[in-house]
Amino acid sequence: MNLKEHLAELAEKIQSGCGPTISYYEVRHWPKGRLEELIEMGVLAKAMYAKRITCTDCAKGECSGIEPTIETIQETGETAGFFLCSKGGGLKKVSEKELQQWVIVAEKLPISKKQKAVKETKRNRPTQSEMENRNRTIAMAAAEIKLKHGRLPRVDEIAEKTKLDPQQIYASAPYKDDKIAKASAKVTEEVTGSSVQKTEYYGERSEEHGRQNRRSKSDQAELDATIDQQKEDDESNFVTI
């Protein structure tokens, strides 16, 4: 594994939520000199001794999750861990080397473009308080424009008034609650006065046509009722001799 691949692996370890700690049991499989290289780069920093270890010394099998007692031997100044083997192996000693741990310094890791984009997205995400203030600002601007023009405001009008990015407006509560005209329903500035008048004219004609239809149906119903009533009156006045 080359250095670039190793750095990517450490970054993946952080991203996957496995934690930043590296144990001796991981380091011992690394290429020679790699640990020292990463420490010199600032990617790894020495951490506290491990509180749990794995013992591979016993012939009866590997034991993991062992909590050694860490002590410094006064005669030699050596630091080591001690524990009683649960498989009858007696008192066991773990060297200081096996107790050592290192922590990954994430800030020193080169990140990919994808990771950088995710990081920037999280950094740019507004807080709840910021989102509430933004929604309030957009709602007030929308209400003012609607009151002035008698129609739903457009996104570009809100953006001009509030100096917010259109994407921020699309993500706001007023836009989702239909307080702002959707893109498919907006009226653009390129529409001429004559076409607007024509649209209004045909709209008025359509409404008038609807009213006429309603009136003609009402008149016809009234006429039918009058005819029926007249028939009943004629029949009641008819005398057989």
- Range with top average pLDDT, 18-27, 177-186, 214-223, 225-234: 18-27
CA quadruple 180, 163, 190, 151: dihedral, nearest 10: 30
What is the reported pLDDT for 239?
45
pLDDT tens-digit series, residues 73-87 = 888 888 999 988 877
Mean pLDDT for the stretch of residues 14-31: 88
Domains and CATH numbers, the chain: 3-111 (no CATH), 126-183 (1.10.10)
What is the reported pLDDT for 189?
43
**Residue 50 in 3-state DSSP?**
coil
Q: What is the pTM of this model?
A: 0.44
Give the Cβ contact number of residue 68 at 10 Å: 21
Contact 47, 21 (CB under 8 A): yes
CA dist list (Å): 105 to 13, 50, 110, 112, 238: 12, 18, 11, 16, 111
Q: State yes or no: pLDDT of 128 exceeds 90.
A: no
- Cα of first residue to Cα of last residue in the chain, in angstroms, is 124
Q: How confident is the model at residue 30 (pLDDT cuts 50, 70, 90)?
A: very high
**Residue 111 in 3-state DSSP?**
coil
Instruction: Report the C-alpha gap between 220 and 9 in whole angstroms.
Output: 84
Contact 104, 35 (CB under 8 A): no
What is the reported pLDDT for 1?
83
Q: State yes or no: pLDDT of 119 exceeds 60.
A: no
pLDDT tens-digit series, residues 37-50 = 999 999 999 999 98
Q: What is the mean pLDDT of the chain?
A: 77
What is the reported pLDDT for 111?
64
Looking at per-residue pLDDT, the higher value among 237 and 230 belongs to: 230
Mean pLDDT for the stretch of residues 192-209: 50
Mean pLDDT for the stretch of residues 222-226: 61
Instruction: Report the C-alpha gap between 48 and 51 in whole angstroms.
Output: 9
Mean pLDDT for the stretch of residues 168-176: 90
Looking at per-residue pLDDT, the higher value among 230 and 147 belongs to: 147
Q: State yes or no: pLDDT of 188 exceeds 50.
A: no
